[in-house]
Amino acid sequence: MHRENYMNALREDIVDTVTRHLTPVAQRYGYSEMPLETNIKWRPMVLVIGNYSSGKSSLINEFLGAKVQATGQAPTDDSFTVLTYDDSVPETEGIQVVEHRDGKALLNDPEFPFSNLRKHGQRFAAHFQLKKINSPFLKDLAIIDTPGMLDSITERDRGYDYQEVLGDLAQKAGLVLVLFDAHKAGTVREAYKSIRDTLTAHTSEDRIIFVLNRIDECTSFNDLLRVYGTLCWNLSQITGRKDIPMIRMTYSSNATAAINKDSAPRTSFLPLLENQREDLKQTILQTPRRRLDHLASYVEIHGERLAHYIEALLAFGLEFRSFRIKKLFTGFLISLLGGSLVALLVMFLVGMADPTTLLSVGGIGAGLIMILWLAVFQRKLEQKFHSTRLEDLDSLTPVADQTRKDSWSAIRDLVYEHLKKNKGDYSLYELKLDLFDVQQVNDNATHDIREALSEFRVMSEDDLKKWEKDSVARKIYKKEQKEMADAEILKAGVRHLY
């Protein structure tokens, strides 16, 4: 219990850091439309994807301890289903669905981090749902079951972009399980695109686990080795990696029990792989603890990218200001020269010799020329600078190492779209202040988070108890200090009135 309290407190601190320091800057400059804490403020999530009939629902039912999700050989469920915990019904009454919510209600409920999925439209909302279940397996995490991936289906067939939805959910998830089954150890088109492009763009490799499911349906141990080898080969071709990614093997014991007794001898190898099933289960249950590392990485990644993003805007702004000043100075010189010529023409053509009158005429001429310059030439020159600079956007900030290259690759399009729309019209002073704030998060907050995680890994139960007592004391102290401060403010206000 003390360990969970420490984890929750650290998670709240991380979310608070993102909310107070990163999100305001990110939304102010178009880095993110949604608050950055949206992806991390809810409970840890495990995303389960795979080919149709790969046994996703059967495996989930096995973990939950009840038949919650529909199962079958053919595609049976074309919905994204969020499975989360509810303890309003005692477990003694049986594991069951306590509450069901449809997609429209779920997407508009601020309790859940799915509001950014509204962009995928009504068809997606109709295929999105939540089930609250009283299964103890879900006490510290949520599972997202997904529609089976197919070969010939298109965005038009589904009515929404499946890959985009998958990418948004993968970004929120602390763990992604990619399931295959013994009958289809290869990959269908949607699975290929998901593994090759979508997952790599929205999550890190350490969060992706490949699972060979339904191994109980192999006819023999040799058949299992053949299937396993085929899957290894296919994955190595998809991922482009020379090393073969680790593949865990599992099956649903409930599904195995339903196999005819005559087929039982062929599954004699299954007890040898029980450790694989247990390892997979424990990996899923460890998601909340691993999530702290993911949250720390989340702050580091977005802190670095946001700082790089603001650097690019600042560099553009400084160049634009320098260009504008030069052209304004040029316009000023031209207007002075033009005003002088006007005065000379008036003097020679009209014969006017009064210095005051000539000065007034020259001043009016210079003013008109300056207005013309600002209204026409200055604007066109600035527009040309803007379009030309956008064409050479890659030279805006230095990318000396791979980290900077990866960061620039992630934000380049965002910078382009923002500058195209905003045209660099913002306060450079505020940009510098915001950059300083984000850099402080990168330098100090991320270091403190990593330090707290390192301490957490070696803390004993006694250490955690002491921390909890100190934490309660700190909360009481902070509350007392706030009450005293509020009282002083009130007294000052009363004195001011009288």
Provide the residue-wise pLDDT of the chain in tens; the chain has 498 residues.
Answer: 566 777 777 888 888 889 999 999 999 998 988 888 887 888 889 999 988 878 888 889 889 988 888 776 555 567 899 999 998 888 888 889 999 999 998 898 888 889 889 999 999 999 999 999 999 999 889 999 998 887 666 555 778 888 999 999 998 898 999 998 877 666 667 778 888 888 888 888 888 999 998 888 888 888 888 888 888 888 887 776 667 778 888 887 765 555 545 455 556 777 777 888 888 889 998 888 788 888 888 888 899 999 999 999 999 989 999 998 999 999 999 999 988 888 888 777 776 667 787 788 888 888 998 999 889 998 899 889 988 988 888 888 888 888 888 889 889 999 999 988 887 677 888 999 999 999 988 888 888 888 887 877 777 777 667 766 666 444 443 444 444 544 554 445 444 434
Query: Distance between CA 463 and CA 5 in Å, rounded?
Result: 13
Q: What b/e readout covers 178-193, taking b as 16+ CB neighbours within 10 angstroms? A: bbbbbebbebbebbbb
Residue with the two structure tokens 């990163």: 22
Cα separation, 447 vs 410, whole angstroms: 23
Q: State the pLDDT at residue 129.
A: 93
Q: Alpha carbon 250 to chain centroid distance?
A: 30
Distances (CA, A) of 33 to 26, 122, 205, 319, 363: 8, 20, 26, 26, 49
End-to-end CA distance of the chain: 53
CB within 8 Å of 279: residues ≥ 6 apart: 248
Place of tokens 């296919």: 234
Q: How far apart are CA 163 and CA 152, in angstroms?
A: 14
Sheet of 208-213: strand order equals 97-102, 128-133, 80-85, 142-145, 45-50, 175-181, 208-213, 247-249
CA distance 169 to 176: 9
pLDDT of the residue at 153:
60
Rounded to the nearest 10 degrees, what angle do helices 2-17 and 446-458 cross at?
170
pTM of the full structure = 0.75
What is the amino acid identity at position 457? R
Predicted local distance difference test score (pLDDT) of residue 267: 65
How do beta strands 142-145 and 208-213 pair? unpaired
